[in-house]
C-alpha cells in the first residue's frame, strides 16, 4: 500500500509518500516540507492569511516533488490523505481541496486525517510500536496525555487547562525578544544558561489528575524578566534554562501520573511515546527517557524531521486508516477545531457517559 499525504494546517506546506511493503514494514519514500518561517518571522507568529496564500503558491510543486522523489505516479497510489484539521482553516482548505481533487482525478480513496492523530501514530511509522501506548502529545496548540489503544481509539487522560507547552515556549521567546519559532530559540539559549538561576513554579505538581497548566509559569518568567530588566545576554540564557527546567519537571511528573492512570484503567502500555513539535526538545526527551527507564518502558521519540509538522505523518495516518477501511467522502469538511476527543471512561453516575472504554473521534 502506498499513500500520498498532504499537510497544510499551520506554517509548513508538506507532502509525502509512505508505503508498507509486502512484509508489512513501513517506508517513507519521500517527505517534502517547505517551511514558511521566513514569511512569518517579522510578525513573531503565524499570520493565517499569509499562511493560506503561501500554501497555495507552493502546493502543486510540493506534491509533484513528493511524487517524483518517491518515483511514483498518481496511478501507483492506493489512496490520498490530507490533514482536515485542527488548524488554520485557510491553510487546511488548500491541502484538503488539493487532495480531494487528486483523489477524484485519479479515482483513489480519500482520507481526511486529524492532524493530532497523525502525530499520535507517527511512532508506528518509525518504530512499529504496538497498541496500546501512552502518548505525551506536545505541540504549539496541544498538550495532552493520551492512551492510544488503536487507530481512531484514543482515551484522553489529561490535558492543559490553559496554554499549550509549545505556546509557552513561543511566548517566553517573544517576551525575551528571541527569534520565532520560539521553542528551538529557547532551547538553544538554555544550553548556556543556569537552570537553577530562577526558582520558577512547577504548576500542577502533585495533583492526582494528569492535567497541565503552563500559563502561570509563563507569567513567572515575564515577572522575573521585568524585575531584572534590562536583560543581559546571560540573564536571557538563565531565564530560558530555568524555564525549560521547570517545563521538564512538569512534563515528567505529569507523565508519571498519566502512566499511573493508564495502568489503573487498562494495562501496562507497550511503551511511552512523545510526539508533536515540542518532542524535538532534547531536555524534555532526556527527562522522559529517565521516567521510561524508571517505569521499565521504552521511550519512543520521533526523529527530528518527524517531530514538527510533516507530510509523512499524514500519509501514514491515512494509510493506517485505509488499511482498516476508514475512508472519507469528498464532502469531508475542514475542521478548524477537531480534538482527538476521546473521553476518559466516565463515572457510572454521569448521565452523559458512554459505555466505559468507548471512545470516538468527534468533531
Please give the residue ranges that form the binding site for ligand KG4 (CB under 6 A): 10, 139-141, 166, 169-170, 181-184, 187, 276-278, 280-281, 308-309
Q: Which residue among 114, 139, 211, 255 contacts Zn ion (CB under 5 A)? A: 139
Instruction: Report in angstroms how near the CB of residue 229 gets to ligand KG4 at its nearest.
Output: 23
Instruction: Report in angstroms how near the CB of residue 344 gets to Zn ion at its nearest.
Output: 23
Buried b / exposed e across 283-308, counting CB within 10 Å, b at 16+? bbbebbbebbeebebbbbbbeeebbb
Q: Which stretch binds Zn ion (CB under 5 A): 84-92, 152-160, 256-264, 306-314?
A: 306-314
Of the pair 103, 165, the CB lying nearest ligand KG4 is at 165
Buried b / exposed e across 86-99, counting CB within 10 Å, b at 16+? bbbbbbbbbbbbbb
Q: Which long-range contacts (CB under 8 A, 24 or more apart) does 59-65 make?
A: 59/6, 59/8, 59/13, 59/94, 59/95, 59/98, 60/98, 62/13, 62/14, 62/15, 62/32, 62/34, 62/311, 63/4, 63/6, 63/15, 63/98, 63/102, 65/15, 65/30, 65/32
Question: What angle separates helix 215-228 from helix 233-265, to the nearest 10 degrees?
Answer: 170
Distance in angstroms (rounded) separating the CA atoms of residues 337 and 25: 33
Of the pair 139, 185, the CB lying nearest Zn ion is at 139
Instruction: Report in angstroms how near the CB of residue 8 gets to Zn ion at its nearest.
Output: 12
- The values of phi and psi at residue 306, to 5°, are -110, 5
* 32 belongs to the binding site for Zn ion (CB under 5 A): no
Q: Is 81 within 8 Å of 110 (Cβ atoms)?
A: yes
* 309 belongs to the binding site for Zn ion (CB under 5 A): yes
Of the pair 101, 304, the CB lying nearest ligand KG4 is at 304
Instruction: Report in angstroms how near the CB of residue 118 gets to Zn ion at its nearest.
Output: 8
Q: Which stretch binds Zn ion (CB under 5 A): 38-46, 188-196, 289-297, 303-311?
A: 303-311
Q: Which of 3, 2, 6 is nearest to 309 (CA)?
A: 6
Q: Which stretch binds Zn ion (CB under 5 A): 32-40, 49-57, 308-316, 321-329?
A: 308-316
Of the pair 87, 193, the CB lying nearest Zn ion is at 87
Instruction: Report in angstroms how near the CB of residue 166 gets to ligand KG4 at its nearest.
Output: 3
C-alpha cell at 23: 512484509
DSSP summary character for residue 316: H
Of the pair 195, 277, the CB lying nearest ligand KG4 is at 277
Instruction: Report in angstroms how near the CB of residue 137 gets to ligand KG4 at its nearest.
Output: 9
Instruction: Report in angstroms how near the CB of residue 263 gets to ligand KG4 at its nearest.
Output: 27
Judged by CB under 5 A, the number of residues near Zn ion is 2
SS3 of 85, please?
Answer: strand
Instruction: Report in angstroms how near the CB of residue 150 gets to ligand KG4 at its nearest.
Output: 22
Q: Which stretch binds Zn ion (CB under 5 A): 31-39, 299-307, 309-317, 336-344?
A: 309-317
Task: Rounding to the nearest 10 degrees, give the CA dihedral for residues 31, 36, 41, 47.
Answer: -130
11's contact among ligand KG4, Zn ion, none, with CB below 5 to 8 A by partner kind, is none
Of the pair 7, 320, the CB lying nearest ligand KG4 is at 7
Of the pair 187, 320, the CB lying nearest ligand KG4 is at 187
User: Got the DSSP string for 121-146?
Assistant: HHHHHHS-PPSPEEEEEE-SS-EEEE
Of the pair 109, 182, the CB lying nearest ligand KG4 is at 182
Of the pair 86, 132, the CB lying nearest ligand KG4 is at 86
- The values of phi and psi at residue 64, to 5°, are -55, -45
Task: Provide the strand spans (E) within the chain.
Answer: 2-7, 12-20, 26-35, 79-85, 110-114, 133-138, 143-150, 153-159, 272-275, 299-300
Instruction: Report in angstroms how near the CB of residue 265 gets to ligand KG4 at its nearest.
Output: 27
Q: Is 239 within 8 Å of 221 (Cβ atoms)?
A: yes
216's contact among Zn ion, ligand KG4, none, with CB below 5 to 8 A by partner kind, is none
Q: What is the binding site for Zn ion (CB under 5 A)? A: 139, 309
Amino acid at each position: 500500500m502506498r499513500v500520498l499525504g498532504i499537510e497544510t494546517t499551520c506554517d509548513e506546506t508538506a507532502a509525502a509518500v509512505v508505503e508498507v511493503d509486502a512484509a508489512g514494514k513501513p517506508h517513507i519514500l519521500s517527505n517534502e516540507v517547505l517551511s514558511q518561517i521566513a514569511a512569518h518571522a517579522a510578525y513573531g507568529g503565524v499570520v493565517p492569511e499569509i499562511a493560506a496564500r503561501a500554501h497555495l503558491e507552493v502546493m502543486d510543486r510540493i506534491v509533484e516533488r513528493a511524487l517524483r522523489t518517491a518515483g511514483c505516479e498518481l496511478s501507483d497510489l492506493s489512496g490520498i490523505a490530507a490533514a482536515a484539521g485542527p488548524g488554520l482553516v485557510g491553510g487546511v482548505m488548500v491541502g484538503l481541496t488539493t487532495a480531494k481533487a487528486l483523489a477524484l482525478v485519479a479515482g483513489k480513496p480519500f482520507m481526511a486525517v486529524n492532524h493530532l492523530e497523525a502525530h499520535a501514530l507517527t511512532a508506528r511509522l518509525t518504530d512499529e510500536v504496538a497498541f496500546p501506548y501512552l502518548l505525551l502529545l506536545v505541540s504549539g496548540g496541544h498538550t495532552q496525555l493520551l492512551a492510544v489503544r488503536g487507530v481512531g481509539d484514543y482515551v484522553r487522560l489529561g490535558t492543559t487547562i490553559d496554554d499549550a507547552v509549545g505556546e509557552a515556549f513561543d511566548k517566553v521567546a517573544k517576551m525575551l525578544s528571541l527569534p520565532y519559532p520560539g521553542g528551538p530559540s529557547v532551547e538553544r539559549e538554555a544550553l548556556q544558561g543556569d537552570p537553577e538561576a530562577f526558582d520558577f513554579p512547577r504548576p500542577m505538581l502533585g495533583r492526582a489528575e494528569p492535567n497541565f497548566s503552563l500559563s502561570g509559569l509563563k507569567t513567572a518568567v515575564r515577572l522575573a524578566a521585568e524585575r531584572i530588566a534590562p536583560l543581559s545576554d546571560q540573564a536571557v540564557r538563565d531565564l530560558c534554562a530555568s524555564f525549560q527546567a521547570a517545563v521538564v519537571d512538569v512534563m515528567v511528573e505529569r507523565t508519571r501520573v498519566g502512566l499511573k492512570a493508564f495502568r489503573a484503567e487498562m494495562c501496562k502500555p507497550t511503551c511511552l511515546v512523545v510526539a508533536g513539535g515540542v518532542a524535538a526538545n532534547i531536555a524534555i526527551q532526556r527527562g522522559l527517557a529517565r521516567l521510561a527507564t524508571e517505569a521499565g518502558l521504552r521511550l519512543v521519540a520521533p526523529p527530528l524531521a518527524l517531530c514538527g509538522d510533516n507530510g509523512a505523518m499524514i500519509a501514514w495516518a491515512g494509510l493506517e486508516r485505509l488499511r482498516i477501511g476508514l475512508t472519507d467522502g469528498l464532502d469531508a469538511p475542514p475542521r478548524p477545531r477537531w480534538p482527538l476527543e476521546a473521553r476518559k471512561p466516565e463515572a457510572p453516575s454521569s448521565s452523559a457517559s458512554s459505555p466505559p472504554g468507548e471512545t470516538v473521534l468527534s468533531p
